[in-house]
Structure 1
């Protein structure tokens, strides 16, 4: 049995869900409705193949070569350089704008096949992109004729040992794969792009509909268009990183909480800090970030409820000045409203921050704002995608979540599976003042305090008092 050879696409995340890339010497069909980003993804893959040493041809039927070159340059594909060095070539098959179509006799693709063969031979192409089959077979011939003609096209690619990518338009997101209706079973791989309206917001996904003779990941995965092309988020499938797990701990910057957590927080862990509005979550997040920066670590703080200047002012007013660390480049504070972006774009920014800024600690304050700006499905995908990024890069993260009521536990079944530790803040009014409490709900891999501790907001941050029975137990222990 011959082992299938695959060609990496260079598209972040796509090689993961295809288990290595596209099949060498076979045809892949890329489908989706208008606006799903088929042409961008096809051009991105073609550019990567050309850069990696496979001479690649793009047959353009809907866009002119000049427009494609501009698109590639705008997305950083270095298209002009690839064309100038003869690693990539565009062949224009677009109809003249002033041409009229006259249909006579049966549709026949033989002439096009010969043209492709001649162009491939002259250029020495090893890979080919045809964008798009929908435009190629327009006007649409009979189903029987279309099937025969498309089969001849795919067979030609196979005979020439070309790694081929063909785009086609789909009539619906979850209906037939293409408007042509007969050709998806002729291709070895079918990729489906979708640009869905989800709770009044657009959400892009990609799915490996089929992949002959190869394992691949099932289901839809979020993707987005960035300044460098398409990026796929294969949440939950990257697998554990190769670095061995560590048992080292670090301080939260909150001495009382460190005691409750049996000596501090475990490295490479995700902690969820939950509580109602006004319970001290942002203050604790600031202590966490400041403690890391004080130790010389790099900290990325994402705030979604306040502007950067107001957040810095509020931290300074409670005795947690941050300006020094920001100026030193140890603390990066990025504040924006989630409604102005999308969860996928936020994941792009997080990945860019991990690659370029290289923080060891990440703060998201608060994930409730993200949840309110997207659908339940979009939020879940974001959270799983974020956890995958953090674990893939072996980083520690603190997430804050605002509960609508003191006893609100509606999201706990979903979120409780993601973090390694959950800390609950709460308060109740007693006579003329608030009584605040803090407790460690769970902490994987570590013993922790089981009692709720009284907490106070003081200059310099938060302070705790151990419960009286815990104090009495501590005082009754024999001293050595």
Structure 2
């Protein structure tokens, strides 16, 4: 059987979008980028053309809706220039040359013909490899009816195809249907939608969707994105865990406290996820510091993602227990991210974790707390599905992942989030408080471990300046 020839592609100028498209946009084709005003269409178009300039291609930006100075302002806001990009600033009224003197009000046919000729002259003069057409809204207004608009678009597509131009047409249109049944998506080789939504609290959430791309096995569905100063549009492709190439033999990861390791049958296993559950003050974060310190002392890399505790608070708490982690942090062996609530989307968080693990050969990942992470997101149920893919990716990378999960109230009867996360854990470590003779006692139990034997006994946890210890639990005396 003959090997299928790979279709040549060009970069969209957005690395994450190229990843979604399995390499880039198929060359010499016609694409539509849709979205609300402010969704990022113009920024995406400039990135597309800048990628062409970087590849030594001739590029042209045909604008019927924005002036050259407005485009320059957008570029300057990111520290870019328009060098190498030819800007053709046209207007449906300005294109009427001598005919403009004949009548104050010109017919739509005359305006459409003159606009088309002006655009075609600019293309034939500059012979671009890449073109951006901004925007279809103006042509839609000139044509006035759907059949004429479709014919105009089909004719323009044929004109570009004969010249081998890769074109991106901007269209102010949201997902959810065409304008008055135009069905223009059927004309284009590909359609990319930029979506933005304002939540009840916090920043705008931005997403991108490739709704159509002929001949490309692209990653469909929504992917998180952001618009960053100096970077433009940044796309965070959803994590799709691949099949493991080989099954690695799990390694036992120890805490440095022998009695605790015995509860796990000798230690926790690499490539698994551990939920550390308990109410406030039971020692959940201390458990994560314990495993982090032991891994660092073995020479392994550790990544810690904080969503509630400040970085300085983390260091001081660890130092109060005899675990000095500052130097590991300064040396880069301990990687710590301190996030503010509502600061990050699930897609961006997943990409950061993925990159940290791959670049630093990280062996232990801690999310403290998972409750704080989920509570900072507007759609927690969907976030759980996103993080499930991330956790599967980390498991296949042979990483031990620890998720700190808080419980409500002093007795901790309910998990502090309104979605079920218990299915995420291969191992569940439960920390609780018990009162005895006017004092609180910390209890620790391994209630679940999918792989291998574990201790079901309830033991007592002691946290002191000298360190952490686990001892057999002495029950309350009978009365």
Q: With the length of structure 1 as denominator, give the TM-score of the two structures.
A: 0.81
| Mapped contact 1:54–1:127 kept (Cα < 8 A) | yes
- Once the two structures are TM-superposed, the CA of residue 183 in structure 1 deviates from its matched residue by 2.0
Q: Deviations over 1:21-42 (max 9, x none)?
A: 3232221211111122122222
| CA pair 43-377 structure 1, distance change in 2 beyond 3 A | farther
- Once the two structures are TM-superposed, the CA of residue 341 in structure 1 deviates from its matched residue by 5.1
**Aligned to 1:462, which of 449, 468, 475?**
468
**Aligned to 1:206, which of 205, 208, 233?**
208
| CA pair 381-15 structure 1, distance change in 2 beyond 3 A | farther
Report matched runs for 1:120-139 at 5 Å: 120-139=123-142
Q: Distance in 2 between matches of 1:41 and 1:238?
A: 28
Q: Deviations over 1:275-299 (max 9, x none)?
A: 2111111111111222233233333
| CA pair 436-7 structure 1, distance change in 2 beyond 3 A | same
Report matched runs for 1:395-406 at 5 Å: 395-404=399-408, 406=412
Report matched runs for 1:327-346 at 5 Å: 327-339=330-342, 342-343=345-346, 346=349
- Once the two structures are TM-superposed, the CA of residue 175 in structure 1 deviates from its matched residue by 2.9
Higher mean Cα deviation, 376-385 or 146-155?
A: 376-385
In the alignment, what sits opposite 1:429? Answer: 435
Q: CA RMSD in A?
A: 3.7
Higher mean Cα deviation, 123-132 or 402-411?
A: 402-411
| Structure 1: gaps spanning 5 or more residues | 470-480
- Once the two structures are TM-superposed, the CA of residue 141 in structure 1 deviates from its matched residue by 1.7
- Once the two structures are TM-superposed, the CA of residue 377 in structure 1 deviates from its matched residue by 4.2
Q: Does 1:248 align with 2:245?
A: no
Q: Does 1:287 align with 2:284?
A: no
In the alignment, what sits opposite 1:264? Answer: 267
| Mapped contact 1:225–1:231 kept (Cα < 8 A) | yes
| Mapped contact 2:150–2:184 kept (Cα < 8 A) | yes
| CA pair 415-8 structure 1, distance change in 2 beyond 3 A | farther
- Once the two structures are TM-superposed, the CA of residue 356 in structure 1 deviates from its matched residue by 6.9
| Mapped contact 2:43–2:233 kept (Cα < 8 A) | yes
Q: Deviations over 1:311-345 (max 9, x none)?
A: 22222222222233233333344434314555555
**Aligned to 2:59, which of 56, 59, 75?**
56
Aligned length: 460
- Once the two structures are TM-superposed, the CA of residue 195 in structure 1 deviates from its matched residue by 0.7
In the alignment, what sits opposite 1:7? Answer: 10
In the alignment, what sits opposite 1:473? Answer: none
In the alignment, what sits opposite 2:89? Answer: 92
**Aligned to 1:306, which of 305, 309, 319?**
309
- Once the two structures are TM-superposed, the CA of residue 364 in structure 1 deviates from its matched residue by 1.9
In the alignment, what sits opposite 1:18? Answer: 21
| Mapped contact 1:134–1:179 kept (Cα < 8 A) | no
- Once the two structures are TM-superposed, the CA of residue 168 in structure 1 deviates from its matched residue by 0.6
Q: Distance in 2 between matches of 1:242 and 1:55?
A: 43
Q: Does 1:41 align with 2:44?
A: yes
Report matched runs for 1:78-477 at 5 Å: 79-80=80-81, 84=83, 86=84, 88-93=85-90, 102-106=105-109, 109-139=112-142, 141-170=144-173, 173-177=174-178, 181-201=182-202, 202-227=204-229, 228-240=231-243, 245-339=248-342, 342-343=345-346, 346-347=349-350, 350=353, 353=356, 359-375=362-378, 376-377=380-381, 379-380=383-384, 383-384=387-388, 386-387=390-391, 390=394, 395-404=399-408, 406-408=412-414, 414-466=420-472
SS of 2:329's equivalent in the other structure is helix
In the alignment, what sits opposite 1:477? Answer: none
- Once the two structures are TM-superposed, the CA of residue 189 in structure 1 deviates from its matched residue by 1.5
Higher mean Cα deviation, 344-353 or 230-239?
A: 344-353
Q: Distance in 1 between matches of 2:119 and 2:359?
A: 43
Q: Distance in 2 between matches of 1:39 and 1:393?
A: 38
Q: Distance in 2 between matches of 1:234 and 1:426?
A: 39
| CA pair 291-158 structure 1, distance change in 2 beyond 3 A | same
| CA pair 239-439 structure 1, distance change in 2 beyond 3 A | same
- Once the two structures are TM-superposed, the CA of residue 402 in structure 1 deviates from its matched residue by 0.7
Q: Deviations over 1:178-199 (max 9, x none)?
A: 5894422211222222111334
Q: Deviations over 1:438-468 (max 9, x none)?
A: 2334445444334443322233443223579
SS of 2:328's equivalent in the other structure is helix
Higher mean Cα deviation, 154-163 or 16-25?
A: 16-25
| Structure 2: gaps spanning 5 or more residues | none
Higher mean Cα deviation, 143-152 or 235-244?
A: 235-244
Q: Distance in 2 between matches of 1:363 and 1:73?
A: 39
In the alignment, what sits opposite 1:474? Answer: none
| Mapped contact 2:350–2:387 kept (Cα < 8 A) | no
SS of 2:261's equivalent in the other structure is helix
Higher mean Cα deviation, 130-139 or 312-321?
A: 130-139
